[in-house]
Amino acid sequence: MDSSSTNEITHDFPPFFKVYKDGSVERYMVFETVDAGHDAITGVQSKDVVISSETGVKARIFIPKIDGPDRKLPLFVHYHGGGFCIGSALGMRAKHMLTSLVSKGNIMAISVDYRLAPEHTLPIAYEDSWAGLQWVATHSNGLGPEPWLNDHADLGRVFLGGESAGANIAHFVAVRAGTTTTGLAGLKVDGLLIVHPFFGGKEPDKMYKFLCPSSTGCDDDPRLNPEVDPNLKSMVADRVLVCVAEKDWLRNRGVAYYETLRKSSNGWNGNVELYETLGEDHCFHMFNPNSSSIGGVKEVDVEASKDCLGRYLRVMVVVDVTQALKRCLKVDVKGYGSFTIMSLRYKWLPNYCTLCRHIRHLFRECTVLKLPDEEVIPTEYGPWMRASSPVCNAANRDRMRVVDDRV
């Protein structure tokens, strides 16, 4: 056979891959994988596990350094990005991001290394990702195949998320989890993190159609356009954080997804928040982890993080919002004692970081918060708080921190 004919390119989708006439695939970008193990700086440990002996699909589990008595930690189930055709849960970027997330958030994480298209056409990546959540659920009785999950994961506080194509997958899994209970007994999805999501536009997506032959590649496909999905109302997550970047070509699609979830007509009754990072491009937190837009994530304090993952930690993980709603949040000011913040007016605190900023601002304005739930103040600082008893001045604002009242 003429080598020139076999080397003929039949499909070309830069910057992802091209396909030759003989069926071989060449990727424009190849991301190297790195070994799991112990991170000396953070103390986070990771290991690789096989979640399906039939398909060979693996996942990487991350666990923070645990000091003191063992306790159950929230679990973040992560799906990596890469246009469904590049990237890996075992890659350097995923390891760096999840190690940081687990360390600073004091959570566990598992990233599913789903099979890539076009060698494995969609919806295989979706099915592998769904199988990954089912595998996690086998640990709900403490008798699953992975000891780390049995001993340390709180499967009543599971969060799904991903970036780009991984965000699309996370949404799919959350919807599917609401339409079937098969294999998910004992597992509760508490929230969803959608970072710089890939969804379809008005024009046909030729690459997606190539990767998924069963799709039209148009906005009549629920996987590309959640608005047309009749099962959207069943999505299990009660709270969703959608993160977009100002310079991302997918920004408007992420905003459209946010607007879709806001519509009461879709039947989904959860809470959704939109967070935009100005001056940044698609998945900057993965490709440029030293970006100035990625703020330091502190354990639990009022310094609002600038990055979406840090914001997510505080909204959903660092403070267990469910417990905060049942009790209160407590403001502790060095030299002045503790003050209670009633937070029972909201079913969920979608703006926990905003709450922190409000508190910090009010302290700067020489105000201590004493918030009877029945009293409100309709200002830009929120229709749900009332201030009283000025005892603190601007010099004390940096002394203030927010802690979760678990007494």
Q: Does residue 248 carry a catalytic annotation?
A: yes
- DSSP designation for 5: H
- What are the structure tokens assigned to 389, written together? 């008893």
Residue positions counted in the chain:
407
CA distances from 183 to 54, 132, 135, 221 (A): 17, 11, 8, 26
Are 165 and 82 within 8 A, CB to CB? yes
Give the residue carrying structure tokens 């005892």.
391
Strand ranges of the sheet holding 17-20, from the earlier edge strand across to the other edge: 9-13, 17-20, 25-27
- What are the structure tokens assigned to 246, written together? 């100002």
Residue tagged active-site, from 113, 190, 229, 248: 248
Side chain identity at residue 39, one-letter code: D
- Any bridge partners for residue 194, and if so which? 162, 242
Are 88 and 168 within 8 A, CB to CB? no
Give the residue carrying structure tokens 């979706």.
126
Residue tagged active-site, from 164, 215, 305, 343: 164
Residue tagged active-site, from 78, 80, 139, 282: 282
Q: Does residue 129 carry a catalytic annotation?
A: no
Strands of 225-369, DSSP E: 239-245, 271-277, 329-333, 337-341, 368-369
Three-state secondary-structure class, residue 149: helix
d(CA 357, CA 352): 9
User: Where is 395: in which H helix or E strand?
Assistant: none
Strand ranges of the sheet holding 337-341, from the earlier edge strand across to the other edge: 337-341, 329-333, 401-404
- What are the structure tokens assigned to 406, written together? 């678990």
The DSSP result for 342-385, as a single string, is: --TT-SS-TTHHHHHHHHHHHHHTT-EE---TT----BTTBTT-
d(CA 289, CA 283): 10
Catalytic residues: 164, 248, 282
